[in-house]
């Protein structure tokens, strides 16, 4: 197919460049979302957990959960899709609930591992503020 090694090298460089550009926009999008949430809850006692967990063989979810001191979820957003171009979506079905109750319930939510990861990060932050 590609008999000329120069053409093959150019093709690989093009793919590498597209991947780098896609990753740049992905990290920029995630960083902007975290900064926006930090500004929204500035001055309030809130805890944020952000994790990336595998959902199945091909897909991962990036989840951000914000809770108050009692563990009540005030904000939950997730990034889930086949490409880096997917957008953050709100997960309103768990907003207003206690994060510990969601973890302890036998929830068949496909994002339960991500919710558990966020809960661990939030618990770590609470311990740091107490100490």
- The model's pLDDT over 2-48, given as tens digits with 9 standing for 90+, comes to 568 888 899 999 999 999 998 899 899 999 999 999 999 988 889 99
pLDDT in tens, 41-83: 988 889 999 999 998 888 899 999 999 999 999 999 999 988 7
What are the φ and ψ backbone dihedral angles of 89, each rounded to 5 degrees? -125, 150
Q: In what order do the strands lie in the sheet with 88-90?
A: 46-54, 60-68, 73-80, 88-90
User: Cβ distance 114 to 61 under 8 Å?
Assistant: yes
């Amino acid at each position: 197919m590609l008999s000329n090694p120069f053409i093959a090298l150019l093709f690989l460089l093009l793919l590498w460049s597209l991947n780098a550009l896609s990753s740049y926009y992905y990290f920029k999008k995630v960083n902007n979302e975290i900064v926006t949430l930090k500004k929204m809850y500035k001055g309030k006692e809130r805890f944020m957990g952000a994790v990336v967990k595998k959902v199945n063989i091909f897909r991962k979810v990036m989840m951000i959960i914000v809770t108050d001191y009692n563990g009540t979820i005030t904000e939950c957003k997730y990034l889930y899709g086949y490409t880096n171009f997917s957008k953050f979506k709100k997960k309103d079905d768990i907003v207003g609930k206690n994060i510990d109750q969601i973890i302890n319930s036998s929830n068949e939510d496909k994002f339960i591992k991500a919710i558990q990861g966020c809960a661990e990060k939030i618990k770590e932050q609470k311990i740091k503020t107490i100490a």
